Amino acid sequence: MNLNDLTNSSGEWLRGTGPESDIVMSSRVRLARNIADFPFISRSTDTDRAEIERRVREHVQHLSDSRRLDAALIYMDVNELEEIDRQFLVERQLISREHAENEGARAVAVGQGEQFSVMVNEEDHLRIQVMHSGLDLIAAWERISKLDDLLEERITYAFNERLGYLTACPTNVGTGLRGSVMLHLPALVITRQIEKVFRSLQKINLAVRGLYGEGSQALGDFYQISNQITLGLSEEDVLKKVGDVVPVLIDYERQAREFLIRESQETLHDRVSRAYGILRTAQTISSEETMHLLSSVRMGINLGLISDLEISTVNRLFIHTQPAHLQKLRGEILSASERDIERAAYLRDRLNGGELRGPETN
Amino acid sequence: MKCQRCNNPATFHITELTGDEPQEVHLCEECAREYLAPSKEEMAEVVPALAGMLAEQLAIGQTAEELARLDQRACPICGITFLEFRKQGRLGCPNDYLCFEKELEPLLLNIHGETKHIGKVPQRCPADGKTQIRLIRLRREMKEAVMMENYERASELRDEIRIIEAELRVSQDQSTKRD
Ligand SMILES: [Zn+2]
Ligand SMILES: [Zn+2]
């Protein structure tokens, strides 16, 4: 398996299955770890980084060869990748934007079905992540903890009895754990309640972010909720705190959807139908407009207003219509305006029964 | 129907719930996007600014002179100064948690509300990490010796590093087998 094999497949976490998957897109858990006998990244030399990368690569390969880790694991030298491939991995949520843009020896290992990835030499020496479809934080934690144990067999972590796992940034020290749930909240956006929700989440020390990173844009009405505290709370308690708030948000979102239907079923149905119509017929379309319209379509499916489309197809389209994905699928570099035309063609194909012809495997 | 903010046709009909009475707002797509986007300030307050937090804390009960002296203090292992940490918000090595313990404590309390770890512990806990921290220092000294063209000192250091690394590997293999 290599990077190009990923182009025509898609991550397990996009299946659209699992608990509450109409509103909860995915659950993600990540661990920050550092190797005890090296400085953190900001003070490490090129030699240090190369040595860290080598140690991790050899151990991961050993685990993969002995089948204790996925035999189909893909290990990529991020420094050697073309820019388009690095961007592709960011769109795929397998590496962070920082990891793509950094310099020097760094890598990523990707497990089968993209259920886990391990970034080497990101902000910390190791950033391990596990992604599951739907609301599934505890299973994701159990999986990542086993991965962590495997990696630790030959890597001694920087750890202090009082402060726990030591990380480059004091905001991650302790468990080094970030648990996040990605929610699709279009009705809370339409009814402008989303900001109120943000404020109440901040009060209980949870962070909110849009899809694709730190910025203020929440493309496609996707919001990631995650813990901020990593010290003084066990992993299970932290994840419970994040997990406990999710049913409340799901309930708000469902209430807002019911409100929209009650208030004006026609307006809502019109919005959904127009969005679907544009996506099926447009000749050129931007990424932002696509995400925006797909969001309405996704909600339309969940409300039974669209019946000839699978939720997993829409989930995939959010990712596969991103710039690097389109170019990888097309097999050439495209300008922004060429991408908009390619995107429209891709959407027409997928939404007018093209699903049957594609090389999709899941 | 026309957009309430400009004259384009209104395609978005937003129901505003934040007031006392639900209110309908009619907007074109462009104006709607602007209207619905969470403001910058709202997103900014989500992630606490580490640097600002630190500056605020240090300003309490310290004179300018004391602060200047603190900024100059460096970790003997990785060489990072407190000023560098303050500016970039990232520490230089595991030893910094000991070296700047007193300064980090209120920061940790502010971020996490706690200063003691609860949760997972590595299966192979380094007794105190001292040997590993020593390795970080020795590697740095070796690099400096090479830069000063003191090759004799550099090769001594390299031998010392190799011995420690070998010892660590042996103890690691033993503990792995015991599992
Ligand atoms: Zn307008
Ligand atoms: Zn240090």
Report B:77-116 residues touching A (Cβ under 8 A). Answer: 77-80, 88-94, 97, 104, 107-108, 111-116
B161: nearest CA partner in chain A: A37
Mean pLDDT calculated for residue range A3-27: 83
Domain ranges of chain B: 1-37, 53-112, 129-178
Per-residue pLDDT of chain B (179 residues; tens, 9 = 90+): 888 888 888 777 666 655 555 567 787 777 776 666 544 444 444 334 666 677 677 766 677 787 888 889 999 999 999 999 988 889 999 999 999 999 999 899 989 999 999 999 998 765 668 889 999 999 999 999 999 999 999 999 999 999 999 988 887 777 665 44
Angle between helices B101-112 and B50-59 (to 10 degrees): 120
Alpha carbon of B2 to ligand 1 centroid (Å): 8
Q: Is the dihedral of CA B59, B63, B65, B71 positive or negative?
A: negative
Which range of A112-116, A276-280, B23-27 scores highest in mean pLDDT? It is A276-280
Mean pLDDT calculated for residue range A323-347: 94
Give the least confident one: A19-33, A263-277, A291-305, B58-72.
Answer: B58-72
Contact state of B38 with A216 under an 8 Å Cβ cutoff: yes
Q: Which residues of B touch A199 (CB under 8 A)?
A: 42
Q: Where does residue A234 fall: left (phi above 0), alpha (psi -120 to 50 degrees), or beta otherwise?
A: beta
Q: Residue A272: pLDDT above 50?
A: yes
Contact state of A215 with B13 under an 8 Å Cβ cutoff: no
What's the pLDDT at B97?
Answer: 96
C-alpha distance from B66 to closest chain A C-alpha (Å)? 23
Alpha carbon of B130 to ligand 2 centroid (Å): 13
What's the pLDDT at B39?
Answer: 46
A292: nearest CA partner in chain B: B33
For residue B31, the ligand closest to its alpha carbon is: 1
The average confidence (pLDDT) of chain A is 90
Spatial CA neighbour of A39 closest among B93, B100, B161, B85:
B93
Per residue, what are the HEC states of chain A?
CCHHHHHCCCCHHHCCCCCCCCCEEEEEEEEEECECCCCCHHHCCHHHHHHHHHHHHHHHHHHHHCCCCCCCCEEEEHHHCCHHHHHHHHHCCCCCHHHHHCCCCCEEEECHHHCEEEEECCCCCEEEEEEEECCCHHHHHHHHHHHHHHHHCCCCECEECCCEECCCCCCCCECCEEEEEEEECHHHHHCCCHHHHHHHHHHCCEEEEECCCCCCCCHHHEEEEEECCCCCCCHHHHHHHHHHHHHHHHHHHHHHHHHHHHHHHHHHHHHHHHHHHHHHHCCCCCHHHHHHHHHHHHHHHHCCCCCCCCHHHHHHHHHHCCHHHHHHHHCCCCCHHHHHHHHHHHHHHHHCCHHHCCCCCC
pLDDT tens per residue, range A121-140: 999 999 999 999 899 999 99
C-alpha distance from B176 to closest chain A C-alpha (Å)? 6
What's the pLDDT at B18?
Answer: 53
What's the pLDDT at B84?
Answer: 92
Q: Residue A355: pLDDT above 80?
A: no
What's the pLDDT at A201?
Answer: 87
What's the pLDDT at B127?
Answer: 63
For tokens 């544009």, name the residue. Answer: A278
What's the pLDDT at B16?
Answer: 62
Contact state of B136 with A39 under an 8 Å Cβ cutoff: yes
What's the pLDDT at B55?
Answer: 67
Mean pLDDT calculated for residue range A172-193: 94
Report A:245-264 residues touching B (Cβ under 8 A). Answer: 259-260, 263-264
C-alpha distance from B93 to closest chain A C-alpha (Å)? 4
Mean pLDDT calculated for residue range A106-111: 95
Q: How many CB pairs under 8 A join A and B?
A: 198
pLDDT tens per residue, range A39-81: 999 999 999 999 999 999 999 999 999 988 887 899 999 999 9
Q: Which residues of B touch A264 (CB under 8 A)?
A: 13
The DSSP H or E segment spanning B176 is helix B151-178
